[in-house]
Amino acid sequence: MASKIAYQGEPGANSNIACKQMFPDMESVPCASFEDAFELVSSGEAQLAMIPIENSIAGRVADIHILLPQSKLQIVGEYFLPIHFDLLGIPGSTIEGATEVHSHIHALGQCRKLIRDHGLKPVIAGDTAGSAREVAEWNDPRKLSLAPPLAAQIYGLEVLASRVEDDPSNTTRFVVLAREKELPARVQLPGPTVTSFVFRVRNVPSALYKALGGFATNGVNMTRLESYMVGNEFAATMFMADVEGHPEDQPLKLALEELDFFTTEVRILGVYPAAGYRAAATA
């Protein structure tokens, strides 16, 4: 029996493509929500989950920063997927004869030029691939879908225009999640490594500045820092961060020790190999 990897969305979604590209031998399992994907891994029904965490244009993926620390799952890998959208319609449809285009709100926002140039009415759908399925079911040539290329194959639609996204550099970063286990030692990760963690600063003046000082003085590169509120009080702020390095590396070890002094909570979410995309992007 093939191992399973869960993702949020319908077959043909970008998360499905990321699963197939990174883990071609695993069975990709679609889930209606992020919570469902997390639960499949927590229960042992799936070994991994492929979860989008940030997009180069849209920024942070909503809810993930809250769900991930609460899930008791661990980040074990990352994957960067260039995002491409095709304009899809039922066989025989044309762009000129269409009046509406359906897709996820982010996809519509990332293909504004095409929508404007052809005078199409954007209609928000819950999922890019789901909009392709709906267009196929409606069988109406006036309704089109903006969806990943795989969706056209799955739902039998025609590609009316390819790669219609406004920004060709559009990329989504995914994290691969597994059930919690002991963090891998440095000898297990000899190459470039990423450490992800969340922390809560003490409620004192300049707390964040002081908490981050150790990373600067020890030469640790922080590649991501996001803040979000916790609970019902605006005074309680958590931060999610990614840094280059392994906690056993002396610079990061010292930085985390200093961070601990200025925080009330620190939790490592994962230590995992850096994707090759990082090196290529900075070359």
Q: What is the pTM (predicted TM-score) of this model?
A: 0.91
Which residue is catalytic, options 38, 85, 128, 172? 172
Q: Name the helix (H) or strand (E) containing 257.
A: helix 250-261
Contact 110, 14 (CB under 8 A): no
Cβ neighbour number for residue 151 with a 10 Å cutoff: 31
Among this protein's residues, is 174 annotated catalytic? yes
pLDDT value, residue 280: 73
Which residue is catalytic, options 34, 38, 85, 174? 174
In a 13 Å sphere around the CA of 23, the CA atoms on its Cβ side amount to: 24
pLDDT value, residue 141: 97
Among this protein's residues, is 172 annotated catalytic? yes
DSSP type of residue 171: E
Contact 191, 185 (CB under 8 A): no
pLDDT value, residue 210: 87
Query: For the chain, which residues score pLDDT lower than 50?
Result: none
Cβ neighbour number for residue 169 with a 10 Å cutoff: 10
Strands (E), the chain: 4-8, 27-31, 48-55, 59-60, 73-82, 86-89, 100-103, 121-124, 143-147, 158-161, 171-179, 193-201, 222-229, 237-244, 263-273
Q: What is the pLDDT of residues 148-170, one digit of tens each?
A: 999 999 999 999 999 999 998 99
pLDDT value, residue 206: 82
pLDDT value, residue 1: 64
